[in-house]
Amino acid sequence: MGNANKKLNENDLALLKNTESSTGMDKKALLKEYKKFKKQFPTGGINKEQFREMAGSFLPPQQRSEEFINRLFNAFDSDRSGQVDFHEFMLAMTMCSSDNPEDKLRFCFRSLDIDASGYLDRQEILYAVQLIFKHNPGLEKRVAPDVNTPEKVVTKIFESVDQNGDNKLTCEELIEFMHNDPKTFSYLGLNLIFLT
């Protein structure tokens, strides 16, 4: 990192090294992003209000609701500190843009796990399925009768994915189901929830 290190303290260097390790990004590109991040967010983090403003500039209008942005913020703020630091920001961006479906699924899982319990309950899944129906008017007429309402889809998802019947979906259960039965994963709209 050469002379650019002169303005970086030990904490900055440790953060960059950790972020490089977690994301696999090139050192020079990472340093460039870090400088932009620090310039835009001098406190070293993005608070919820700043995140809301930023998200409003790139999200489509139908995804600018308070609830959606809060869920997205939670996915970025992995330690739930109330601020998205550089490491969290770069890790989330890497996961979002990854070609690896497991990375995308893990990121989306975090956005839906609003209470940070480590699992998704029926209400958290219902929220995502309702969004699919809301953003696809007439969907209920184009799909099979057993999945023509959000509630029916949620029931099918839990019947198919919830291996131990505890009414909680873990990220691992979803990943395993995605690999073992990709056709049903897609049929239930899980690809739309977790892989887009």
Task: Tell me how far CA of residue 36 lies from CA of 30, 39, 82, 150, in angstroms.
Answer: 10, 5, 21, 42
Quick check: 40 pLDDT over 90? yes
DSSP-derived secondary structure for 109-165: HHHH-TT--SSB-HHHHHHHHHHHHHTSTTHHHHS-GGGSSHHHHHHHHHHHH-TT-
Q: Does the pTM exceed 0.85? A: no
Cβ neighbors of 115 (< 8 A, separation 6 or more) are none
Interatomic CA distance for residues 120 and 191, integer angstroms: 16
Segment 138-166 mean pLDDT: 93
Segment 88-111 mean pLDDT: 88
CB 15 within 8 A of CB 80: no
E strand or H helix at 45: strand 45-47
Instruction: Tell me the pLDDT of the chain averaged across its residues.
Output: 89
User: Which one of 22-26, 74-78, 176-180 scores highest in mean pLDDT?
Assistant: 176-180
Quick check: 2 pLDDT over 60? no
Q: What is the pLDDT of residue 28?
A: 93
3-state secondary structure of 189: coil
10-22 confidence digits (pLDDT tens): 988 898 998 898 8
Q: What is the pLDDT of residue 3?
A: 44
Quick check: 6 pLDDT over 70? no
